[in-house]
Structure 1
Amino acid sequence: MDNRRLILLVIFSMSLVMLWDAWLKHNQPKPVAGPSVTQSATPTPTASGQVAAPAAAPNGATTAERAKAPKLTVETDTVRAQISALGGDLVRLELLKHGANNDRTKPFVLFEEGGAHSYIAQSGLIGAGLPNHKTVFALPSADKLVLKDGEQALSVRLEAPEQNGVKVAKVLTFHRGSHVIDVAYEIANGGNAAVAGHSYYQLTRDTKAAENTAGFFGGAQTYTGPAFYTDAEKYKKVDFKTIGKGEAKLPKTAPDGWVAMVQHYFVSAYAPKQGQREFFARPLDGDLVAAGLIQPLPQIAAGQKATVSVPLYAGPQEQRELSDLAPGLDLVVDYGWLTVIAAPIFWGLSWLHKLVGNWGWAIILLTVLIKLAFFPLSAASYKSMAKMKTVMPRMKRIQEQYKDDRMKMNQEMMELYKKEKVNPMGGCWPMLIQMPVFIALYWVLLGAVEMRQAPWLGWITDLSIKDPYFILPIIMGVTSLVQMKLSPSSPDPVQQKVMMFMPIFFTVMMAWFPSGLVLYWVVNNMLSIGQQWYITRMFDSGAKPANS
């Protein structure tokens, strides 16, 4: 197989795989939209002492009860949240530093009830007289609390009705410059008997996929659903369909780990700092799923107090903040099967972004660095192509002479390659080696929230979505055509026509890719053209190219 056919095989194989994957996910059946959260799961202890996975409660909060429940608004420099008196649930969360998909002037809404999605964060206690997420708490008297200038944290204290002398307060603490909300329970046992039980923390969401934000090759390929992590079993995604069928394979009870609800660019996660925890995931009525974890409470003797607290992360998938919160939490940023390459690429992009302050220029600088790293290999490739160009007339004569004897023609070709020290595969290796880098960069641009709505220059206002005017894809097509002209043409007229069609094919295909990826390919093409022209010119003039 000559290098032209190998190039065609690589290009078409990559294209078909990506197109097929995108088509399947783009056209998969959409779940039927369910109502807002009408029923919730309350974990209950089993006879063995462990806590069973939650079952749908017949006395769960109805839509009307939830709508009537008083709500408190909390605003910091990063979020605007609504807390319901019913359970102290977080029923709405707006991310103030991230624009909505369709209107950047409005904040992105992560948690909401009964809007585009039903998605809330819940928690509660299990035990006689202890409040759960169906308990009505007393809210502070103010309708809105705002983090003031100079304050680093804002705590909201919700009081549960006293039961048998036991007083419980749910305290939500918001932090400046952070998307972490500490969820704590303060328990004061004023009764005559010791208090024992469990605390639980769950994320309840409908099974509709998050909105596609990056066109045909964008959000349709990303995962939406629960994820779990323990040190023993590592990162596990458990999709909605598996949970609905009762076939979900969750981590066992563990001394570490977290539970998350993942969607494109954003995530919510409960990540306890210490203590044993048991994980669960169950389907609920109304096309809802609850995923969470349960922890035992310390036994509280009569007259004693205790506090339990678990951090809730709810915000963008910013890898540094996620990795600082819990081990493995940064794995929710899905780079696909090329994570081993994509992770260093993102690290390099982040470092370059610190230098230039713009993700587009960071991509350009990264392209130059990658090109320099592959320069010796590319130089050898272009030298091989230049040699192929010089022997092309002789190859054509051999093909014409032995057109009726393919075995003899191949034998003569091999003799020619050996005599002239030409490697017909030499021009392919740079493309083959750079292809994983190309695909890994694609996943970085698709998965890294830092790229979301990140501008570059002029008309490119979001590097994570397609070029709105298709300018970069057209430039890419033109530069691909120039590259094709500089390369030796195949003696096969059919292959010549196919190779001339490739720039058009690439232009159409890349028109729907993230503009940041097309920018990388344009710069790479321009650098390749300059390098190829220089080496070919030196070879034709008889001079010795650099690195030869």
Structure 2
Amino acid sequence: MDDQNKNLILATVLSFIVVLVWFLLFPPQEQAPTTDDPVAQSQSEGTGGAMSPAGAAETATAQPLIDAGPAADAPRVQIATPSLSGSISLAGGRIDDLQLTDYKVTQEEGSPDVTLFRPQGQPGGYYALYGWVAGTNIEAVPDAETLWSLDSGEVLTPETPVTLSWDNGAGQIFRQTYAVDDKFMFTVTQSVENTADSTIALRPYGLLRRHGEPSDLQNFFVVHEGLVRMSDGELEEQGYDDMVDFDVDPREGAPAERIDVSESGWVGFTEHYWMATLIPGDRAFRSTAKYYPDPDVYQTEAVLAGVEAAPGATVEVATQLFAGAKEGETIKDYEDAGVTRFFDSIDWGWFFFLTKPIFWLIHWLHSFIGNMGWSIIAMTIFLKAILFPLAYKSYASMAKMKELQPRMEELKAKAGDDRQKLQKEMMELYKKEKVNPAAGCLPILLQIPIFFSLYKVIFVTLELRHQPWIGWIHDLSAPDPTSIVNLFGALPWDAFPPESFLAILNLGVLPILLGISMWLQQKLNPAPADPAQQMIFAWMPWVFMFMLGNFASGLVLYWITNNTITFCQQYLIMRSHGYTPDVFGNIRGSFSRKKAEAKK
């Protein structure tokens, strides 16, 4: 391969890395709706067109949005579990008030609990609603405006379910029983007692309704937010912008996508760390995702098969609702309990075959160590140990390359400007000395997917959120909070705000250590023959120091640990092959040469 092709490949790889990291650091932002946007106004006022689980039956009666006033005044049943607090509104029987008691919005003292569900009429209204679609011989079914009565139970806890009832006055009594475990799974049992003289037919449904996009939407391609559903073993992920672009389905009266699930599945909305999903269980149902432009509402539905109730009979259907935090072990426990592929509701990405093992390895280590930062360091040591045989061959080859450096300089001087001759003689030298110049690239190629997989795990999974390491590192999922701009807090001014372009200058202690570790590691590697390549590689540690400065502290910690172990391995392996690197001597020699050149 001639120098021109080598330069082209090098430039392409470096350009790809720069562009990729740029989009990681500065993802495009979507503009929030302004106050004069009629769609945003209709959302906040609670007005708009009719919406229903129309997929339940082609002739289903529309279920209108209820006004914010009656919903706010309706009686409520409190929810109190070890993991959740909130209430169920008797207006529509909606679970529309839910907080996650184990998670705070920020790490500041007095920070409120994370809120998942909010009533309609509040900013970001978001709730679950259950009901029936009328079939034959039935005059009225409960809808979003139905005011239910409390039959049994006063507070919903893991030990005490609550039951609501409603009599339609035409021979049918509807009941909804809510149960919840000590984490995030609700079980909703819908039943209808038929006291009339004829058999009735109807279909049960559950829906999740979200008024507008989440206020804290990341808009970051590393993590999926929006529609997530499993349909007979096939996972689908679509963002809110994808739902807006759905084709209008005349059966739904709105942009929608319907899937007929024959065996099992679930459907809902996922956020960065939180999720709500409807889980009908191992039965057939219609999974629908739709968007109402006016009043800017996103909705998912699970509509079950029709049921019949003979005179004097009662029929009931039990489904589940997950509403809570995407804790890896909790999600896996629900999957083991029968929720098909529920663990895949966490966005593991393309490298799932790496992200899942890395996730379990970190948390297995954390169960012994008790600190996520030290667990990341231990995981890095474990991975380096696995890759050591390959690293040994690579560093042994690089040691030989270092030994050949003076001879390569002689060949370069003899060849002059004849690059073809130089390339030929260098290849002959490599062949004679049995050296593979590309061997040093192998550890780097292996590190790239591990690096991105670990970045995915740190950014996406909840378990590193607000997890401290030592001293000033209080959140491994956030950038290093210190900044060289104010000498790490010694000067009386703040660092640049995160939204500022100059925030890239907010180098903390960890990013600086990263740059130094990359620079020292580079001193052990043979310098490229091409001066242009030498200059590029000389700048790379400092470029990466700035580029990775705003990455999660846990990721930077991994990179520093990896570089340090690599440096030690490479140094010892090169010494074992008869070459003793004088890293600091090279550094001193470099400064001396520059000083001598300056005097001239």
Q: TM-score with structure 1 length normalisation? A: 0.89
From 248, 273, 283, the equivalent of 2:281 is: 273
- CA shift, 1:173, in A, is 1.1
Q: Indicate if the aligned counterparts of 2:372 and 2:469 stay in contact, CA closer than 8 A.
A: yes
Partner of 2:19: 16
Do the aligned partners of residues 358 and 52 (structure 1) sit closer, same or farther apart at CA in structure 2, a change above 3 Å counting? farther
Question: What amino acid does structure 1 have at the position aligned with 2:458?
Answer: L
Q: Indicate if the aligned counterparts of 2:513 and 2:560 stay in contact, CA closer than 8 A.
A: yes
Partner of 1:119: 126
Asked if 1:496 corresponds to 2:534, the answer is yes
Partner of 2:522: 484
Partner of 1:447: 460
Asked if 1:312 corresponds to 2:325, the answer is no
Question: What amino acid does structure 2 have at the position aligned with 1:342?
Answer: T
From 88, 92, 95, the equivalent of 1:90 is: 95
Superposed CA offset, 1:177-219 (max 9, x none): x200111223221222222101111111134245267xxxx95
Q: Indicate if the aligned counterparts of 2:258 and 2:286 stay in contact, CA closer than 8 A.
A: no
Question: What amino acid does structure 2 have at the position aligned with 1:283?
Answer: Y
Q: Larger relative contact order (C-alpha < 8 A, sep ≥ 6)?
A: 1
Partner of 1:546: none
Partner of 2:113: 107
Superposed CA offset, 1:493-517 (max 9, x none): 3333322211111111111111111
1:251 counterpart SS class = strand
From 257, 262, 265, the equivalent of 1:257 is: 265
Question: What amino acid does structure 2 have at the position aligned with 1:366?
Answer: M
Partner of 2:349: 336
Partner of 2:232: 231
Q: Indicate if the aligned counterparts of 1:476 and 1:518 stay in contact, CA closer than 8 A.
A: yes
Asked if 1:157 corresponds to 2:158, the answer is no
- CA shift, 1:371, in A, is 0.3
Distance 1:454 1:69 in 2: 40
From 418, 426, 431, the equivalent of 2:444 is: 431
Partner of 1:385: 398
Moved more, 439-448 or 451-460: 451-460
- CA shift, 1:334, in A, is 0.8
Q: Indicate if the aligned counterparts of 1:381 and 1:430 stay in contact, CA closer than 8 A.
A: yes
2:201 counterpart SS class = coil
Distance 1:189 1:249 in 2: 34
- CA shift, 1:11, in A, is 5.0
Superposed CA offset, 1:262-315 (max 9, x none): 111111111112332011122222211111110124311111112211110001
From 348, 373, 376, the equivalent of 1:363 is: 376
Q: Indicate if the aligned counterparts of 2:231 and 2:266 stay in contact, CA closer than 8 A.
A: yes
Partner of 2:418: 405
Question: What amino acid does structure 2 have at the position aligned with 1:517?
Answer: L
Partner of 2:310: 301
Superposed CA offset, 1:4-53 (max 9, x none): 98677545423422423664x432444565426545632247xxxx6249
Distance 2:60 2:215 in 1: 25
Superposed CA offset, 1:410-433 (max 9, x none): 111111111121211111110011
Q: Indicate if the aligned counterparts of 1:75 and 1:146 stay in contact, CA closer than 8 A.
A: yes
Superposed CA offset, 1:347-398 (max 9, x none): 2122212222222222111101100011111111111111111111221222
Distance 2:319 2:372 in 1: 35
Asked if 1:173 corresponds to 2:196, the answer is no
Partner of 1:137: 148
Q: Indicate if the aligned counterparts of 1:359 and 1:451 stay in contact, CA closer than 8 A.
A: yes
Question: What amino acid does structure 2 have at the position aligned with 1:410?
Answer: Q
Do the aligned partners of residues 493 and 405 (structure 1) sit closer, same or farther apart at CA in structure 2, a change above 3 Å counting? closer
Superposed CA offset, 1:422-462 (max 9, x none): 21111111001121011111111111111111222222222
What are the equivalent positions in structure 2 for 1:153-232 lying under 5 Å apart? Answer: 153-176=159-182, 178-209=183-214, 211=216, 221-231=222-232
Moved more, 453-462 or 247-256: 247-256
Superposed CA offset, 1:161-187 (max 9, x none): 3431211121211222x2001112232
Do the aligned partners of residues 514 and 54 (structure 1) sit closer, same or farther apart at CA in structure 2, a change above 3 Å counting? farther
Question: What amino acid does structure 2 have at the position aligned with 1:484?
Answer: Q
Do the aligned partners of residues 170 and 115 (structure 1) sit closer, same or farther apart at CA in structure 2, a change above 3 Å counting? same
Distance 1:397 1:115 in 2: 76
1:272 counterpart SS class = strand
Partner of 1:26: 28
Q: Indicate if the aligned counterparts of 1:270 and 1:311 stay in contact, CA closer than 8 A.
A: yes
Partner of 2:82: 77
From 558, 572, 581, the equivalent of 1:520 is: 558
Distance 2:105 2:60 in 1: 33
Moved more, 407-416 or 131-140: 131-140
Q: Indicate if the aligned counterparts of 1:51 and 1:294 stay in contact, CA closer than 8 A.
A: no
Distance 1:437 1:53 in 2: 53
2:281 counterpart SS class = coil
Asked if 1:456 corresponds to 2:469, the answer is yes
Q: Indicate if the aligned counterparts of 2:105 and 2:114 stay in contact, CA closer than 8 A.
A: yes
From 51, 54, 57, the equivalent of 1:41 is: 51
Moved more, 305-314 or 483-492: 483-492
Q: Indicate if the aligned counterparts of 1:481 and 1:503 stay in contact, CA closer than 8 A.
A: yes
Distance 1:301 1:457 in 2: 67
Q: TM-score with structure 2 length normalisation? A: 0.81
Asked if 1:530 corresponds to 2:532, the answer is no
**How many matched pairs?**
526
Do the aligned partners of residues 542 and 533 (structure 1) sit closer, same or farther apart at CA in structure 2, a change above 3 Å counting? closer
Q: Indicate if the aligned counterparts of 1:53 and 1:282 stay in contact, CA closer than 8 A.
A: no
Instruction: Show structure 2 runs of 5+ residues with no match.
Output: 35-39, 248-255, 483-507, 582-600
Do the aligned partners of residues 189 and 221 (structure 1) sit closer, same or farther apart at CA in structure 2, a change above 3 Å counting? same
Distance 1:373 1:362 in 2: 17
Do the aligned partners of residues 441 and 239 (structure 1) sit closer, same or farther apart at CA in structure 2, a change above 3 Å counting? same
Percentage identity across paired residues of the two chains: 30
Superposed CA offset, 1:103-144 (max 9, x none): 5732111111344522111111111322122211124799x7
**Structural RMSD (CA):** 2.7
1:335 counterpart SS class = coil
Partner of 2:431: 418
Distance 1:542 1:320 in 2: 48
- CA shift, 1:404, in A, is 2.2
Moved more, 99-108 or 167-176: 99-108
Partner of 2:360: 347
Instruction: Show structure 1 runs of 5+ residues with no match.
Output: 544-548
Do the aligned partners of residues 267 and 502 (structure 1) sit closer, same or farther apart at CA in structure 2, a change above 3 Å counting? same
2:269 counterpart SS class = strand
- CA shift, 1:399, in A, is 2.2
Do the aligned partners of residues 401 and 53 (structure 1) sit closer, same or farther apart at CA in structure 2, a change above 3 Å counting? farther
Q: Indicate if the aligned counterparts of 2:196 and 2:312 stay in contact, CA closer than 8 A.
A: yes
